[in-house]
Homo-oligomer: A and B are copies of this chain.
Amino acid sequence: MRVHNFSAGPAQLPLPVLERAAAELTDWRGTGMSVLEDSHRGKDFIACAAQAEAAFRRVAALPDNYRVLFLAGGATGQFSAVPANLAARGATAAFINTGQWSAKAAKEAKRQGLNVVTIADESASHYTTTPDPASLIIPADAAYLHYTPNETIGGVEFPYVPDAGDTPLVADFSSTYLSRPVDFSRFGVVYGGAQKNLGPAGLAVVLVRDDLLDRARPDVPAIWDWRTMVDKDSMLNTPPTFSVYLLGLILEWMEEQGGLATIGAANEAKARSLYEAIDASDFYANPVEPRSRSWMNIPFTLADPALDADFLAGAAREGLANLKGHRSVGGMRASLYNAMGADGVAALIDYMTEFERVHG
């Protein structure tokens, strides 16, 4: 019995992808070995990685002047790698603070020696808002502007792409990567962990515009040296091969679904139905200002927190898993990534309605 898994990440994956991976886990495409066992220098894996990159470019509609890197260490690794690739120690970088993930990115940039200027800080609203786009003033000497399009914990999402002018725009897309069409030409660097919409934990997908490849410090760690990794097709060292393979399968599945236009529309519809159910009730509440509500991560509270444990226990009995909210926010959180079907959201809403009928 498969559950509906609302985990914020690692997260639900498409069942056909898992079934295919299971079927070929001891004999991959006639090689007589698992993809887990094959050399990353062999023709089969090189083709697998090249196919994943080509599929990513197609699905994302990525402009030709961007490189795609498959790197180890997740988004938190790139928190360290971005400053080391883009700015000297002591340089200035601008950050927008909309929650715990953007704050962590800024903290690590400081550790890497940057002068971090926070040009917008939403902590006063307890991270339930995004800034007015007209309020964003970028220091003239900023090496880049960093922001987090979707905050996984707060469930806050930018309804716009900030206008950074000539300053390179850098974004942590971890929890919204390939969840809808995006004009990537607006960005200088995009990065994100795969473990939400793109596959298993252990892989960061990094997109770098060509003109930003040669700004690295001499001591950037080798495995995060974007220029070297571009020249080595992300294989300076052994890449996380199984993660790249699964990413390729997931991108195939995304193309079978109709690509980002279809997937984005489905994601919007899933989120809207859950927000409508929450807003129609006095029993449930979501704290985020409507224009900044995330399609991906939807926190909600019960009017009486004493019922939280009952709610979660009953949900688990109904096959609705991983709904407990982040410890810093409390209550519940439903993450509705690409692989969450409309049936899963409908089952959650049915359960919420019934729970309110009994306990409300």
Contacts and interface: CB of A to CB of B under 8 A. Distances in A.
Interface string A110-123: 01110000000000
B36 A222 contact: no
Count of this chain's copies in the oligomeric assembly: 2
A354 interface: no
Contacts of A38: 5, 7, 10, 322
Contacts of A231: none
B223 A10 contact: no
If over half of A's interface residues share one DSSP class (helix, strand or loop), that class is named, otherwise mixed; here it is loop
A99 interface: no
Contacts of A241: 10, 200-202
A202 B240 contact: yes
B22 A18 contact: no
A3 B223 contact: no
A42 interface: yes
List the 10 closest pairs (A to B, CB-CB), nearest first: A202-B240, A3-B32, A80-B221, A76-B237, A22-B25, A7-B39, A72-B73, A201-B238, A202-B202, A22-B22
Given A108-B222, A240-B240, 9 more contacts: A9-B39, A10-B38, A11-B37, A22-B26, A38-B322, A72-B240, A80-B223, A202-B241, A242-B242
19 contacts: A2-B27, A7-B38, A7-B42, A9-B238, A10-B38, A15-B26, A21-B25, A22-B22, A22-B23, A33-B321, A36-B200, A72-B72, A74-B223, A75-B237, A80-B222, A112-B221, A113-B219, A202-B203, A202-B242
Interface of A: 1-3, 5, 7-13, 15, 18-19, 21-23, 25-27, 31-34, 36-40, 42, 72-77, 79-81, 108, 111-113, 193, 195, 199-203, 218-219, 221-223, 236-243, 246, 319, 321-322
